[in-house]
Amino acid sequence: MADEIINRVTTSKLVVFDLEDYYPKGERILFDIKDWLYEGFVLREKEFRVLVKEHDWSQYQDTLVALTCTTDAIVPDWAYMLLSIQLAPFSKTTVLGNLETLETALYQDIITNLDINIFKDKPVIIKGCSKKPVPSSAYIMITNKLKPVVKSIMFGEACSSVPLFKR
């Protein structure tokens, strides 16, 4: 009789933590103000305020917005503040930066508020491959959050993980 093959991964106490499971739903929008600047470089307050007033902000309902300017224009902080005030009733989140900055801010909020007690004294594998744009910074954030409570941290998949920390 041949030896029975036992799947040690499924019988182990390993806990897989997948950042993709926490990926926030919602349309991501990169709001580039370059088109609202004179020749893409100069913010003229009066014209800018008219554009802000006349813009249909309701189109951003339940979206996740990153405010940016993709030209080398010097944009005063109040301009982004004014835009964020207009977006506040509609967007779920508004940040200053690119889409990666947006993803980082979303994960920062999620990880900060995450209850990690279920991982206490357990070996944890932080799953590596993801189909969604999980920022690299989120892996660092979750590692730092888990380290004080877990028995060990590995990265990758259960069949081929990289050990990172062991208490």
Q: Do both 120 and 84 map to the same domain? A: no
Range of the domain at 87: 28-91
Q: Do both 36 and 76 map to the same domain? A: yes
Q: Do both 19 and 48 map to the same domain? A: no
pLDDT tens, position by position, 18-40:
999 999 999 999 999 999 999 88
What region, left, alpha or beta, does residue 124 occupy, with left being phi > 0 and alpha being psi -120 to 50 degrees? beta
pTM of the predicted structure, to 2 decimals: 0.85
Q: Do both 20 and 33 map to the same domain? A: no
Q: Token pair for residue 135?
A: 């920022």
Q: Do both 130 and 84 map to the same domain? A: no
Q: Do both 19 and 34 map to the same domain? A: no
- CA atoms of 140 and 121, how far apart (whole Å): 19
State the DSSP H helix or E strand holding residue 126, giving kind and residue range, or none if neither. Answer: strand 123-127
pLDDT tens, position by position, 82-117:
999 999 999 999 999 999 999 999 999 999 999 999
- CA atoms of 153 and 8, how far apart (whole Å): 18
Please tell me the least confidently modeled range out of 43-47, 70-74, 131-135. 131-135
Amino acid at residue number 97:
G
Q: Phi, psi (5° rounding) for residue 62?
A: 60, 25
Q: Do both 84 and 110 map to the same domain? A: no
Domain-terminating residue out of 37, 59, 91:
91
